[in-house]
Structure 1
Amino acid sequence: MYLYLNGEIVTRENARISPFDHGFLYGMGVFETFRIYDGHPFLLDDHLVRLQDGLNELKIKKSVDRAQVMEIINNLLSANGLKQAYVRLNVSAGTGDVGLPTGEYEVPTVLVFMKDIPAVLEEKQANFLQTARNTPEGDIRLKSHHFLNNIYGKREIGNNPNVEGIFLTKEGYLAEGITSNLFWVTGDRLFTPAVQTGILNGVTRNFVIQLAKSIGLNVQEGFYHAEDLLGSDEAFITNSIQEIVPLTDIENHTLRGKKGPVTKKLQYIYSKYRKNLWSKNEITKGI
């Protein structure tokens, strides 16, 4: 595997990051994962907006733009012999003194790597986790290095790739999957937990909301309980690598899975966009 590290293309074995990088010492770093479809990085602009917002929040002085990232991506695609890829773009605070700083980080560490797309399942089951979704460190949840809550959830649910764990907040509201956002359909409405429940505001989540609205669906974001999900007609989870994954059952409550008409329609339209869109704002109404 070849990866990008601070301006150089290096092999995995030769990649070195300082043990005094505050991304390692204190979790000061953010990242994005996205897919390459035939050389096109789907929704890259939306990922870069979220990444930049996170960098600004953590006081990491780094500007990211499409041209810069595309040069890195194209070099890595060539070096690794890939056209379809999973990409992780990571920016950590960089080397600093031991201790908690209050100022800006001036020299961040930039790491980009890619690999083949992992197997994407057509359907999954879901179970509610006993581990509660923790609250964000700040006003909103960043896609940061702080992943212990997710790891606790993964340990609870186990390694079966066919099963996703669903977090509830400590107040009992539906939140999200371990590495996914949650949606369900009841009647003619599409529901998803509000960002204020402490979930990650996923790029694919926002794309699906915009996509659903463009085809006339009534989308509701709010505070919901497990019973709302269990009483739904169909449900699915989303993330940037697996796209839209239907749920066949939740806690032994059977759903339509991949036969759900709303899920199928959203999957179909999603597939039409993924080789050319840079942002959700480019969605054409009523496609």
Structure 2
Amino acid sequence: MIAWFNGELLPLRGVHIQATDRGFLLGDGFFETMAANKGQVIHFDAHMTRLEDTARKLKFPLPYNREELKDAVDKVLLGNQFLKTRTALRLTITRGSGPRGLMPPLELNPQVLLTASEVPDHFPSAKVKTVSICRNEKSPTAQIKSLCYLDNILAMEEAHEHGSDEALMLNSAGHITEGSISNIFFVKNDQLLTPKISDGVLPGIMRNCVLETAHKLGMNIVEDSLEPEIIQTCDEAFLTNSLFRVRPIHELDGRLIPSEVWADKILQEIKAAE
């Protein structure tokens, strides 16, 4: 597997992370997961806008601009011969090495790693369970893809222990937020509902794409605090992220949800636009 590390193409096994790297020691960093289809990265500018916004929030200097990162993406896709498949691209940025303790060094040396792997073009419908792990909607990391992913890992583990594919997390107020790796949508009476960002929701790139697509299809859209009761009353539910686009939910907290009408319509529109 070929990776791109700090401007250099090399085998993934040849990437060496320093023992003093703050991303390794403290989770001091962030990432973007992008999809590419037949060698073309999808929604690249939207991902870069979120990346740059995250860097500003965390006071990270980005050592590479969009053009340089796009060139890195192209080289990694070509180097791995991922020009005829669907590919997951993971761009990881850490603050670099520093002395012991929490305070970042005055002079930063961010480390940038880009990796790629093949992913399916189609994902089966999902079984989802509400878990005990809560999202902290007041956390400054609630709206960024931080390297501190322990809450998400624990949530996914709990879901898997109950035979589910994905976890659904509530926030401290008991409102629905998102999955461990996905945003969530509900359909009720042809109305599309999704939790609002301020409830502790990551502003997903595919989430925004779904909202735009649903608007074009004439759906009434509601972004608001959602109570767990909607799980028992919705007509449809589906998950979104950049890799599986739209993934219908066939079972949520033990309730079977057979309908995928709107999920399929939205998915087909999104795939056609790629």
Shared fold, TM over 0.5: yes
The structure, 1 or 2, with the larger RCO (C-alpha pairs under 8 Å, 6+ apart) is 1
Inter-partner Cα distance in structure 1 for 2:161 and 2:208: 28
Instruction: Give the equivalent residue in structure 2 for 1:158.
Output: 160
The verdict on how the C-alpha distance between 1:151 and 1:139 changes in structure 2, with shifts beyond 3 A counting, is: closer
Matched, 1:28 2:20: no
The verdict on how the C-alpha distance between 1:162 and 1:243 changes in structure 2, with shifts beyond 3 A counting, is: farther
Q: State the 1:119 CA deviation.
A: 7.0
1:216-250 deviations in whole A, cap 9, x for unaligned?
A: 21110111111113201111000111110001121
1:99-157 deviations in whole A, cap 9, x for unaligned?
A: 22267653200100001114742211111112222345317421010101001111211
Provide the TM-score with structure 1 as the length reference: 0.89
Match of 2:182 among 180, 183, 187: 180
Match of 2:69, SS state, is helix
Q: State the 1:159 CA deviation.
A: 6.9
Task: Say if 2:27 and 2:148, in contact at 8 Å, map to a contact too.
Answer: yes
Inter-partner Cα distance in structure 2 for 1:209 and 1:137: 25
The verdict on how the C-alpha distance between 1:18 and 1:63 changes in structure 2, with shifts beyond 3 A counting, is: closer
* Structure 1 spans left out of the alignment, 5+ residues: 275-287
Match of 2:198, SS state, is helix
Provide the TM-score with structure 2 as the length reference: 0.93
Match of 2:171 among 164, 169, 176: 169
Q: State the 1:162 CA deviation.
A: 5.8
Instruction: Give the equivalent residue in structure 2 for 1:95.
Output: 97
Structure 1 residue identity aligned to 2:127: Q
Task: Say if 1:238 and 1:244, in contact at 8 Å, map to a contact too.
Answer: yes
* Structure 2 spans left out of the alignment, 5+ residues: none
Inter-partner Cα distance in structure 1 for 2:134 and 2:142: 17
The verdict on how the C-alpha distance between 1:231 and 1:63 changes in structure 2, with shifts beyond 3 A counting, is: farther
Task: Say if 2:99 and 2:105, in contact at 8 Å, map to a contact too.
Answer: no
Match of 2:135, SS state, is coil
For this pair of structures, how many residues does the alignment match?
Answer: 272
Inter-partner Cα distance in structure 1 for 2:107 and 2:115: 23
Task: Say if 1:127 and 1:165, in contact at 8 Å, map to a contact too.
Answer: yes
Structure 1 runs, 4 residues or longer, greater than 6 Å off? none
Q: Which moved more, 1:89-98 or 1:157-166?
A: 157-166
Inter-partner Cα distance in structure 2 for 1:198 and 1:175: 6
Instruction: Give the equivalent residue in structure 1 for 2:71.
Output: 71
Matched residues, percent identical?
Answer: 28
Q: How does 1:227-242 map to 2 (within 5 A)?
A: 227-242=229-244
Instruction: Give the equivalent residue in structure 2 for 1:266.
Output: 266
CA RMSD of aligned residues (A): 1.9
Match of 2:222 among 220, 223, 227: 220
Match of 1:91, SS state, is strand
Instruction: Give the equivalent residue in structure 2 for 1:122.
Output: 124
Inter-partner Cα distance in structure 1 for 2:254 and 2:273: 34
Structure 2 residue identity aligned to 1:227: E
1:15-55 deviations in whole A, cap 9, x for unaligned?
A: 10111111122222111001111111110111111111111
Q: How does 1:170-209 map to 2 (within 5 A)?
A: 170-209=172-211
1:178-230 deviations in whole A, cap 9, x for unaligned?
A: 11000010012100001111121111111111111122211101111111132
